Structure 1
Amino acid sequence: MGLKVGITGGIGAGKSLVCRIFSVLGIPIYDADREAKVIMSEDREVGNALKAAFGDAVFDQYGKLDRAYLSEVVFSDEKKLKQLNSIVHPAVIKAGDDWASAQMSAYSLKEAALLFESGSYKKLDFTILVTAQESIRINRVMKRDGVTEDQVRARMSKQWSDDQKLPLADAIIINDGEQSLIEQVMAIHHRLTHSNE
């Protein structure tokens, strides 16, 4: 088992693009957000907790998670969002720990939007923050998701600001379209693969 490394960034910062560069280098990547969706759909214990918290309508008549319903319920209510996170985050963190322990590379990456907010960064050896100016991030998300600026800002308000995340990050990648992402990734890759020298 190598180093456990976390990578995060606010919506539209470009952490998925950065992860693709790391994956080209052969680094295994755990997508915590995608895994959360799988766990909510397939983990019986989590499913029962979701039903208890938000009602049977969380799952449709075929037993599939109704993401639209769940989003509607939690994103307009801070208390319910916290309740959802308290059900899902521990299961995702445990699955991520198990996955990382099985990796044989010098390090593995855990990609998570709420790496710092969830507290899961505390179980990692190293953290990377991907940043970009707010205006760039807003434009990226509007283009990518076909949403309005207000909708993007509403999503951003659910995440910590970069100012809150910066003190917790061991490395920063600036994704502003001007600085080379590849060079920044290679510098961190070199640092992580030569950490024991």
Structure 2
Amino acid sequence: MIVGLTGGIGSGKTTIAKMFHELGVSIYIADIEAKKLMNTSEVIQKELIEAFGKETYKNGKLNRSYLSNIVFNQPEELKKINSIVHPRVGQHFKDWYAARSNEKYIIKEVAILFENDSYKQCDKIITVVAPIEERFRRIIQRDNTTREAIQGRMNNQWSDEKKITLSDYIIHNEDLEKAKEQVAKIHQEISVFR
């Protein structure tokens, strides 16, 4: 069983994923795997350079700040990068999941699960939510960035309200202990399905 885990930037998806991992659940974090593939796949590198120029890679490594400046302010450019990277990440996930098919369920953590239609491959969906000001605080602390830059990234994601309507479970991630309790309850419920 594939359980999608999503939430807006700064909602704490990765923290929640770690809680599931502590319960013995295998976790696939799409953003991490995408970054790995962008640095190791010659096909992806070639296509990104063709689309965005030689500055896309610096000393053989992805120039994230260069790409971020292009992508997060121009929705068409974001679609272009997604069309190059997402199909490869999708195939990578299929291979990863095939090796874990005997597990009760796995979690696929994807920031843009709904936006890129990945939710259609999931049997259940968990959305992580947190108050907007808390999200801003977390991201500024984590990324040393500005509210304006964060807002630009948020504008490329669906609202929590829209995600919630398509989700099976909602985790309110304000208090870590309460979040852990929610994770344990969901884990217990999902484990019964198989």
TM range, smaller chain:
over 0.9
How far 1:43 moved relative to its partner?
Answer: 1.1
List aligned pairs for 1:107-122, cutoff 5 A: 107-122=105-120
Distance 2:70 2:54 in 1: 13
Q: 1:134 aligns with which of 132, 135, 141?
A: 132
Q: List per-residue Cα deviations over 1:48-83 (Å, max 9, x = no partner).
A: 2111211222122x3222112111222222211110
Q: Is the 8 A contact 2:72 2:152 kept in 1?
A: no
SS in 2 for 1:150: helix
Which residues of structure 1 form unaligned runs of 5+? none
Greater Cα offset, 140-149 or 40-49: 140-149
Distance 1:23 1:186 in 2: 11
How far 1:160 moved relative to its partner?
Answer: 1.0
Partner residue, 1:144: 142
Partner residue, 1:161: 159
Partner residue, 2:35: 37
TM-score, normalised to structure 2, is 0.93
How far 1:179 moved relative to its partner?
Answer: 7.0
How far 1:178 moved relative to its partner?
Answer: 7.8
Q: 2:20 aligns with which of 7, 19, 22?
A: 22
- Aligned-residue Cα RMSD (Å) equals 1.5
Distance 1:152 1:106 in 2: 36
Distance 1:106 1:178 in 2: 25
How far 1:190 moved relative to its partner?
Answer: 0.9
Is 1:88 aligned with 2:88? no
Which residues of structure 2 form unaligned runs of 5+? none
Q: 2:174 aligns with which of 173, 176, 185?
A: 176
Partner residue, 1:99: 96
How far 1:148 moved relative to its partner?
Answer: 2.6
Distance 2:151 2:13 in 1: 18
Q: Percent identity?
A: 42
Distance 2:39 2:142 in 1: 25
Aligned residue pairs, count: 193
Q: List per-residue Cα deviations over 1:84-129 (Å, max 9, x = no partner).
A: 0111111112211221121132111111111111111111111110
SS in 2 for 1:33: helix
